[in-house]
Amino acid sequence: MPEGYVVDTDVVSYLYRQDSRAADYRPYLEEAIPFISFMTAAELDRWTLHRNWGPRRRLDFSDFIDRFTVVMSDRALCHTWAEVADQARRSGRPIQVADAWIAATAVSLNAPLLTNNRNDFLGVDGLIILPDAAP
């Protein structure tokens, strides 16, 4: 497996919008493969529809998303999702469905997760969350 990071939806949006918070994550992505969960791709597609973006802007955004390797769901990832969701529940830190898919993607790839929402993922044992502390 190539070395890379799973990039959470919030970080992808920072990168796309050139938000100042993106600077905290760019160093991780310079020499690595950036992965996103199919769930992140879906969340971001919904974002463009919700904001009524026109065809040109959606095409530009699609070109941006193509820089990431989208990890699609399969039977193994479904099982990992179930484990992640149940583990978080048992730890007393339930996880949202979308976040569980993103965490399961990172767990399945044995890759760290880049997120600004680290608290959303603290119930997942063994998940490496970067940066180490909220920027």
The domain limits of the chain are: 4-130
Identity of residue 134: A
CATH 3.40.50.300 applies to domain 4-130: no
pLDDT tens for each residue of 115-124: 999 999 999 9
Backbone angles phi, psi at 24, to 5 degrees: -70, -20
pLDDT tens for each residue of 63-112: 999 999 999 999 999 999 999 999 999 999 999 999 999 999 999 999 99
User: Average per-residue pLDDT in the chain?
Assistant: 94
Distinct helix (H) and strand (E) counts, the chain: 6, 5
Using the Cα atoms of residue 56, residue 57, residue 60 and residue 66 in order, give the sign of their dihedral. negative
